[in-house]
Structure 1
Amino acid sequence: MDENKNREMNRRDFLKIVGVSAAASTAALYGCSSDGKPASSEAAALGEVPTDKMTYRTSPTGDKVSLLGYGCMRWPLKPAPDADGNVIDQDAVNELVDYAIAHGVNYFDTSPVYCQGFSERATGVALKRHPREKLLIATKMSNFQNYTRENSIKMYHQSLKELQTDYLDYYLLHSIGGGEGIKTFHDRYIDNGVLDFLLEEREAGRIRNLGWSFHGYTDVFDYLLSLDVKWDFVQIQMNYADWRHASGRNVNAEYLYAELEKRNIPVVIMEPLLGGRLSKLNDHLVARLKQRRPENSVASWAFRFAGSYPDVLCVLSGMTYMEHLQDNLRTYSPLEPLTDEEKDFLEETAQLMLKFPTIPCNDCKYCMPCPYGLDIPAILVHYNKCVNEGNVPKSSQDKNYSEARRAFLVGYDRSVPKLRQASHCTGCGQCNPHCPQSIDIPKQLVRIDEYVEQLKQGTL
């Protein structure tokens, strides 16, 4: 009990420290201009957003599910947290939710750990203002730290309370496949009787659909499908880059989808934009996509890919700004499925992406808080942004060396406070087990810090 209290106090202290920089990190991911407002982007297509053309998929339980689902992992943040640590701008959340529902979105996905622990509360406040029977609410058993039956069941009941509902439409065992694989799954859900409890809750109707989200190795994925459990759905990472070229701990999405399709298990998609990276491609790849469909956003290609597979029930997107919500609504109102030729075109695009050395960070913030105060996601996001913009010179002989050097260093100091930069990494490795992408985070931070020092000294 004392350990849990200490952990909670540490989290509160962390919230006070990082409120401002967390907002800045999220803004950087989605391409904010220097004044903190969304940059005018190609994502906002011309014309009105349709209100009655959303594409829906029907689940085996009869739910009519909007193909576009709202991922509540990246709600708009305040410049600084409230006294209780709340970092979320509730008025902005309400506006986004209202607009989404008015334009056909009915699936909302959250977790007890999203937005530094405040996503469920903000989501519950926003959704409570709408008829419950018209909504499909999804959340997760995110018992990463404390596996006890008591703590896990407490987390489940707290989710119901925060979301202000007495039942959940979709409930997930969160991020299966991490840690020690099958052993960790047993620790979290089998040996403590938590899975049996959740199956009883489904039988009682308080959970309408039970499934799991996956970040892991093939053996864990196959093991869960071999259990004598009826899974109502499974959530996987799927996009045209990961379809055949998944990195780290993740399995190629082509395999995952095929195994679920064989078993008639509906698929919910996370990371259709690969943590935003498929909407922030380098100029060469942007031109490649724009040449084919100049009127459509770069992101729309990724959403069309995810939605084109018939067993996909819903595609989640964490939409921080209204322009992103509007663009995705246009893409799915209605969906224009990819042709086979367009799928081949995106596979070629994915192969081209492999030639650019970005770090597979999705800005999920599972690695946070760092015990030494680093803003790990902001560091990695800044590096990737500079790679995509061509601002990572390899040599002082590069034509754009001076301009790229300044852009990297000035942008680094603006997006990551000096005391939270990579130079302060001690290599403790506490972050690594929490990364769904299996990034060797300390190794990457050391590499980035050495690169920064070379830029500062002009020794490349």
Structure 2
Amino acid sequence: MVYHDYQGLKLSALGLGAMRLPVIDGDESRIDESETEKLIGYAMEQGINYYDTAWGYHGGHSEAVVGKILSRYPRDSYYLSTKFPGYDLANMEKVEEIFEAQLKRCGVDYFDFYFFHNVSEPNIDAYLDKKYGIFAYLSKQKELGRIRHLGFSAHGGKKVLRRFLAAYGEHMEFGMLQVNYLDWTFQEAKEKIELLSEYNVPVWVMEPLRGGRLANLPREQAEKLRNLRPEESVPAWAFRFLQSIPQVKMTLSGMSNFQQLRENIATYQTHRPLNDREMQTLLGVAQDMLKNKILPCTGCKYCLNYCSRGLDIPMLLGLYNEHTFTEGGWLAGMVLESVPEDKHPSACIGCKRCEEVCPQQIKISEALADFTEKLK
């Protein structure tokens, strides 16, 4: 197992995420404890020492199951992380209540790593609002040793990240981002990592395989990779990409069966970052995947001065691209929660003035109408 040095700790470069554990009869709230115990047992044997859960995973049952299974091992043989569920604004006044409940759920006296969960457009104002006392409370728990390391996860855009880091960056010991070779430019992962680097915040990675999408590529794209590394599996390329980014200290993968677990552990027996040719080929594969599936908006913002409704068209097209490529998902809806309704895609009246100045000749009005339908 590859390990990274982190503040005197030896962290396995691969961590086990507990958001996609084995379940019974397809019911996400019914974790198969027997199978999960076997998975964690094998992971421990093979050197994985980082386990990540959260308040809301598996209908609120993930923390209890993971904590129960890990309690069978010496407390100093693993690192446990969980998160404050700020994705739900109703929780903002409950930081102490939730934190105490999490310790009991997991059966521990402290968390090795604790997150502000999902810093994003809908909750950034609340996270920064001192009346809730979230940062003050969590900082106090760190002083008391009940949190060993404090950080955050984020699905928000760069503006949100800048606000959060401007307020708390000097106190953040890690930041978790959605990073993979598809999102390197598509979701601006490269620029987000650079932003964290300005505050010397190491990077934790979620969605390394983008929900499994990067585990199986079309034959033509997979062949490009095989020609360069015949011995490497398609999923392994996603992890080798992350091994090529110096800021990445932890990669979390939600391995829900033994095949995934064995293959990923086998990959992390070695550290084999990509060379320049391999990196460019892989990023080319990402562009091939996006080609003809997303609109070629470059964010030039020429359209902004011509929208009679004052819509942030580049932002909306970016969300449309994400929603279309992912074939749904929750990200677009989450971001739009923080946008006034009269600035939603449905507010477009189809005047097409923006299209007259679009260098990419995008049919913006049609895209926003389609976005509106997709969101219903």
- Whether these two folds match at TM > 0.5 is yes
1:320 maps to which residue? 256
1:445 to 1:224, Cα distance in 2 relative to 1, 3 A: closer
Distance 2:374 2:161 in 1: 32
Matched residue SS, 1:302? helix
Match of 2:310 in 1: none
The equivalent of 1:182 in structure 2 is 124
CA contact (8 A) 1:285 1:349 kept: yes
Give the Å deviation of 1:184: 3.8
Please, which of 114, 121, 125 is the counterpart of residue 64 of structure 2?
A: 121
The yes-or-no answer on 1:433 pairing with 2:334 is yes
SS at match of 2:88: coil
| Higher RCO structure, 1 or 2 (CA under 8 Å, sep 6+) | 1
Could you tell me which amino acid in structure 2 is paired with residue 352 of structure 1?
Answer: D
Contact 1:202–1:210 (Cα < 8 Å) also in 2: yes
Alignment partner, residue 9 of structure 2:
63
Shift of 1:307: 2.1
Measure the CA separation in 2 of the matches of 1:150 and 1:165: 23
Tell me if 1:238 matches 2:179: yes
C-alpha separation in 2, matches of 1:356 and 1:70 = 34
Tell me how far 1:263 sits from its aligned partner.
Answer: 2.8
Give the match for residue 214 of structure 2: 278
Aligned to 2:278: 342
Corresponding position of 2:134: 194
- Give the distance between the partners of 1:115 and 1:282, measured in 2 at CA: 31
5 Å matches for 1:259-274?
259-274=195-210
1:83-232 equivalences under 5 Å are 86-147=29-90, 150-179=93-122, 182-187=124-129, 190-227=130-167, 229-232=170-173
Deviation at 1:444, TM superposition (A): 6.8
Would the alpha carbon gap of residues 322 and 302 (structure 1) be closer, same or farther in structure 2, given more than 3 Å must change? same
- Tell me how far 1:178 sits from its aligned partner: 3.0
Question: More strand by proportion, 1 or 2?
Answer: 2
Note the alpha carbon deviations across 1:225-259, whole angstroms, 9 max, x for none.
2125411111111111111222xxxxx11111122
Describe the SS at the equivalent of 1:87.
strand
For residues 85 and 264 of structure 2, the distance between their equivalents in structure 1, rounded to whole angstroms, comes to: 28
Unaligned runs of 5+ in 2: 295-323, 346-368
Which amino acid is 2:185 matched to? Answer: R
**TM-superposition CA deviations, 1:41-75 (whole Å, max 9, x none):** xxxxxxxxxxxxx111111x211100001111100
Residue aligning to 2:290? 354
Q: What amino acid maps onto 1:348 in structure 2?
A: G
Task: Tell me the distance in 1 between the aligned counterparts of 2:242 and 2:81.
Answer: 19
Equivalence for 2:348: none
SS at match of 2:4: strand
Deviation by residue 1:324-363 (Cα, 9 ceiling, x = unmatched): 11111111102211112211111111111112538xxxxx
Deviation (angstroms), 1:384: 7.8
Deviating more after overlay: 192-201 vs 217-226: 217-226
Cα distance, 1:105–1:215 mapped onto 2, change above 3 Å: same
Letter of the 2:163 partner, please give it.
Y
Contact 1:307-1:315 at 8 Å conserved across structures: no
The alpha-carbon deviation at position 200 of structure 1 amounts to: 0.4
Secondary structure of residue in 2 paired with 1:319:
coil
User: Following TM superposition, by how much is the alpha carbon of 1:143 offset from its aligned partner in structure 2, in angstroms?
Assistant: 3.2
Distance in 1 between residues matched to 2:61 and 2:335, nearest whole Å: 19
Partner residue in 2 for 1:417? none
Q: Is the 8 A contact 1:146 1:152 kept in 2?
A: no
Q: Is the 8 A contact 2:87 2:119 kept in 1?
A: no
Cα shift at 1:115: 1.3
CA distance in 1, matches of 2:111, 2:336: 27
Q: Secondary structure at the match of 2:171?
A: coil
Q: Distance in 2 between matches of 1:448 and 1:433?
A: 11
Following the alignment from structure 2 to structure 1, what is the Cα–Cα distance between the partners of residues 94 and 224? Answer: 50
Deviation digits for residues 101-127 of structure 1, max 9, x if unmatched? 111100111101111221111111221
Distance 2:97 2:4 in 1: 33
Residue of structure 1 in register with 2:363 after alignment: none
- Following superposition, the deviation at residue 286 of structure 1 comes to 2.2
The code of the aligned residue for 1:97 comes to I
Q: In the TM superposition, what is the alpha-carbon distance from 1:277 to its structure 2 partner?
A: 0.8
> Retained in 2: the 8 A contact 1:176–1:213?
yes
Alpha-carbon contact 2:127-2:134 (below 8 Å) kept: no
TM-score by length of 2: 0.77
Q: Could you tell me how far apart the structure 1 residues matched to 2:336 and 2:30 are?
A: 22
Deviations 1:165-193 (A, max 9, x none): 110000000000131x6324335xx3211
The change in CA–CA distance for 1:134 and 1:356 in structure 2 (over 3 A counts) is farther
Q: Sort the Cα spacing of 1:130 and 1:254 in 2 relative to 1 into closer, same or farther, 3 A.
A: same
* Per-residue CA distance 1:192-248 (angstroms, 9 max, x = gap): 1111000000011100000000111211111222125411111111111111222xx
Q: Distance in 2 between matches of 1:430 and 1:291?
A: 35
Structure 2 contact 120–335 (Cα < 8 Å) conserved: no
1:148 Cα deviation after fit: 5.3
